[in-house]
Chain A
């Protein structure tokens, strides 16, 4: 039988029972549409995070202390106290580290902040004046932490935009007092809002203090040497191309300073921005795959719907099968006919589903749900995959009913009432 006749026959058979065919189609449409839109949302989130990180600058490196070991327990990176403020200063070395640009060490602390009426838990960073430039912050009002603040261990704070609003409402907090862990500080500046970066928590919730103040007054850390231990050193390479060289130079300078032998492992790690993005994206990939798989289950249910309807159809059309067999249809002809109906259903559902999924994706794009703005990214690969998967589902779930139809005994089939 020629393909055109097969397809026409399949259309005819499906058309004879439009309601049933459309309901079956709907199952696939919902499945494919949810896969497409879910993946679009997942990828949108991924793209948003990646671009937010890239805003920080792609020539950024992070130097973190190695993991500390207490007995058998290996704690996370950054828990050891192997990096000091002096290490950070030593990286500013034109001879051994010519590709290192700006250096911004930080010390993290947390505490309870109390303004006039409000109090809240805060995550803070002790920083030097370079921090703002290295991490692309702008001062909205007041001033930055100055080198003098660091030297003098001044009791001043710069607030993130959201924490400022939370504590002071619409009032300008510059000059206002803020108590953290019982000690009073003066707010000298407020940062420009950066919006949300889900990966790091909001940057706008940060409280910045001079690194020395943070270390001695706020963090509660005490080092054996009496020096300032840092939790992270942000390093800007002079340009993007120099990032690998800068990474090697940092490694060399710090290993020398830490007096590590050739066989010793470094007690710090240097990661580049690109690596950070890579790690994050791979986590996000898992998330996207998870979303897609959950949606894929509905596609599977749709496939079972096709199988169900095809089985009913085979039973109902037993006599038709008998007639076709009597006038010369081979088993293969019957198989092809029923299989093509199933594939037509699933493929049709797939195409409509892709359109619906894209519609949904563009509809929710930019909408905010529960305070989070949804971004969607549509990919041709998902559409191609969805088409392929729906055709495969038609074949997979259509093959059993079709084989059943083709195995019918023509005599029995002709007698079927």
Chain B
């Protein structure tokens, strides 16, 4: 799979002075308060922070599910901060893949149908089955294509949702606590899959997590607190997950 790169020179994410304020009663909550960040193509960034730090707000903004109160957001060089709802929907279907903590698969649809969903909304219904199947293959679940989510294990469901995130060949995959609902063995398996996609396919990946272990799998860690970035460091040598020497424990 080739990553789509409309403008090779521009970074995937370019955010400046990004702020998101909520009005609650007569109080203004500054969930995000002036964030500057640039993510280049092929990076794997972990976003860390305690709950309430604003990392979910940042993910929603980067995922074009929400628009900022102020600031700019260029995605592949295209300004999307003040785009209309329809344009944002188009951007989501073209450029972004989501992986959620709770998988968010349609319960009545099979794995294959779930993976096909973004293609329908992207106007690519033709040949969608083949594309979806190849995405499932990539996460090693082609043989489970006809199963419904209820018939799949948690790890398998998350892999289906990764396949769904990939099927549109997005320039950015956003994973929000992707292993939050999984046991540690499955966590390693999922992280390995994400790392593999980043390494071999060069897919830009943002992972929100509060587990240092998970963050350790990334190449860069951005820490957020009270709506601001407090630390942004590159990891020269990202830890290889899984650590094969340790015995697997299933809790």
Q: Within the assembled complex, what's the spacing in Å between the Cα atoms of A115 and B164? A: 95
Q: Which residue of B lies closest to A13 (CB)?
A: B108
Q: Within the assembled complex, what's the spacing in Å between the Cα atoms of A329 and B92? A: 9
Q: Nearest-CB distance from A408 to chain B (Å)?
A: 12
Q: Nearest-CB distance from B171 to chain A (Å)?
A: 14
> B65 an interface residue at 8 Å Cβ cutoff?
yes
What is the 8 Å Cβ interface bit string for chain A, positions 362-405, against chain B (1 contact, 0 not)?
00000000000000000000000000000000000000000000
Residues B101-159 near A (CB distance < 8 A): 104-106, 108-109, 117-118, 120-123, 125
> B100 an interface residue at 8 Å Cβ cutoff?
yes
In the complex, the answer to whether B104 meets A328 with C-beta atoms within 8 Å is no
> B89 an interface residue at 8 Å Cβ cutoff?
yes
Q: Within the assembled complex, what's the spacing in Å between the Cα atoms of A320 and B109? A: 11
Residues B50-79 near A (CB distance < 8 A): 60, 63, 65-66
Q: Within the assembled complex, what's the spacing in Å between the Cα atoms of A331 and B85? A: 8
Given A411-B60, A411-B65, A414-B100, check contact A328 B122 (CB 8 Å): yes
Q: Nearest-CB distance from A410 to chain B (Å)?
A: 5
User: What chain B residues lie within 8 Å of A320 (beta carbons)?
Assistant: 106
Residues A299-346 near B (CB distance < 8 A): 319-320, 322-333
Q: Within the assembled complex, what's the spacing in Å between the Cα atoms of A354 and B70? A: 58
User: What chain B residues lie within 8 Å of A12 (beta carbons)?
Assistant: 108-109
Interface size class of A (residues with CB under 8 A): 20 to 34
Q: Which of A324, A325, A326, A333 has the most CB of B within 10 A?
A: A326
User: What chain A residues lie within 8 Å of B117 (beta carbons)?
Assistant: 323-324, 327
Residues B19-73 near A (CB distance < 8 A): 60, 63, 65-66
User: What chain B residues lie within 8 Å of A118 (beta carbons)?
Assistant: none
> B90 an interface residue at 8 Å Cβ cutoff?
yes
User: What chain A residues lie within 8 Å of B125 (beta carbons)?
Assistant: 1-2, 5
> B246 an interface residue at 8 Å Cβ cutoff?
no
User: What chain B residues lie within 8 Å of A332 (beta carbons)?
Assistant: 86
Q: Interface of chain A, helix or strand or loop or mixed?
A: helix
In the complex, the answer to whether A328 meets B65 with C-beta atoms within 8 Å is no
In the complex, the answer to whether B90 meets A328 with C-beta atoms within 8 Å is yes
Q: Nearest-CB distance from A94 to chain B (Å)?
A: 84
> A116 an interface residue at 8 Å Cβ cutoff?
no
Partner of B121, one of A322, A328, A411, A414: A328
Q: Nearest-CB distance from A2 to chain B (Å)?
A: 5
User: What chain A residues lie within 8 Å of B228 (beta carbons)?
Assistant: none
Q: Nearest-CB distance from B102 to chain A (Å)?
A: 9
Q: Which residue of B lies closest to A333 (CB)?
A: B121
Given A327-B98, A411-B66, A414-B100, check contact A5 B120 (CB 8 Å): yes
In the complex, the answer to whether B121 meets A330 with C-beta atoms within 8 Å is yes
> B93 an interface residue at 8 Å Cβ cutoff?
yes
In the complex, the answer to whether A324 meets B121 with C-beta atoms within 8 Å is yes
In the complex, the answer to whether A319 meets B104 with C-beta atoms within 8 Å is yes
> B220 an interface residue at 8 Å Cβ cutoff?
no
User: What chain B residues lie within 8 Å of A319 (beta carbons)?
Assistant: 104
Q: Within the assembled complex, what's the spacing in Å between the Cα atoms of A352 and B212? A: 61
> A224 an interface residue at 8 Å Cβ cutoff?
no
Q: Nearest-CB distance from B88 to chain A (Å)?
A: 9
Q: Which residue of B lies closest to A326 (CB)?
A: B98
Q: Within the assembled complex, what's the spacing in Å between the Cα atoms of A171 and B112? A: 87
User: What chain A residues lie within 8 Å of B93 (beta carbons)?
Assistant: 327-329
Q: Nearest-CB distance from B218 to chain A (Å)?
A: 22
Q: Nearest-CB distance from B207 to chain A (Å)?
A: 17
Q: Nearest-CB distance from B233 to chain A (Å)?
A: 29
In the complex, the answer to whether B89 meets A325 with C-beta atoms within 8 Å is yes
Q: Within the assembled complex, what's the spacing in Å between the Cα atoms of A1 and B125? A: 8
Q: Nearest-CB distance from A329 to chain B (Å)?
A: 5
Given A1-B125, A2-B125, check contact A327 B164 (CB 8 Å): yes
User: What chain A residues lie within 8 Å of B92 (beta carbons)?
Assistant: 325-328
Q: Which residue of A lies closest to B94 (CB)?
A: A328
In the complex, the answer to whether B85 meets A327 with C-beta atoms within 8 Å is no
Q: Nearest-CB distance from A16 to chain B (Å)?
A: 5
User: What chain A residues lie within 8 Å of B63 (beta carbons)?
Assistant: 326
In the complex, the answer to whether A1 meets B106 with C-beta atoms within 8 Å is no
Q: Which residue of A lies closest to B122 (CB)?
A: A328
User: What chain B residues lie within 8 Å of A414 (beta carbons)?
Assistant: 65, 100, 104
User: What chain B residues lie within 8 Å of A327 (beta carbons)?
Assistant: 92-93, 98, 117-118, 121, 164
Q: Nearest-CB distance from A275 to chain B (Å)?
A: 62
Q: Within the assembled complex, what's the spacing in Å between the Cα atoms of A206 and B122? A: 80
Q: Nearest-CB distance from A89 to chain B (Å)?
A: 87
Q: Within the assembled complex, what's the spacing in Å between the Cα atoms of A82 and B16? A: 102
Given A5-B120, A324-B117, A411-B66, check contact A329 B89 (CB 8 Å): yes
User: What chain B residues lie within 8 Å of A2 (beta carbons)?
Assistant: 120, 125
In the complex, the answer to whether B60 meets A328 with C-beta atoms within 8 Å is no
In the complex, the answer to whether B90 meets A330 with C-beta atoms within 8 Å is yes
What is the 8 Å Cβ interface bit string for chain A, positions 132-155, against chain B (1 contact, 0 not)?
000000000000000000000000
Q: Nearest-CB distance from A195 to chain B (Å)?
A: 61
User: What chain B residues lie within 8 Å of A328 (beta carbons)?
Assistant: 89-90, 92-94, 118, 121-122, 168
Partner of A330, one of B60, B89, B94, B100: B89
**Closest 6 A-B residue pairs measured CB to CB?**
A328-B93, A328-B121, A327-B118, A330-B89, A329-B121, A328-B92
Some 28 contacts from A to B, beta carbons below 8 A apart, are: A1-B121, A1-B123, A2-B120, A5-B120, A12-B109, A319-B104, A320-B106, A323-B104, A323-B117, A324-B121, A325-B89, A326-B65, A327-B92, A327-B98, A327-B117, A327-B121, A328-B90, A328-B92, A328-B94, A328-B168, A329-B89, A330-B85, A330-B86, A331-B89, A332-B86, A410-B65, A411-B60, A411-B65
In addition to A329-B89, A329-B121, A332-B86, 20 A-B residue pairs with Cβ atoms within 8 Å of each other are A1-B123, A1-B125, A2-B125, A5-B125, A320-B106, A322-B104, A323-B105, A326-B65, A326-B92, A326-B98, A326-B104, A328-B90, A328-B168, A330-B85, A330-B89, A331-B86, A333-B89, A411-B60, A411-B66, A414-B65
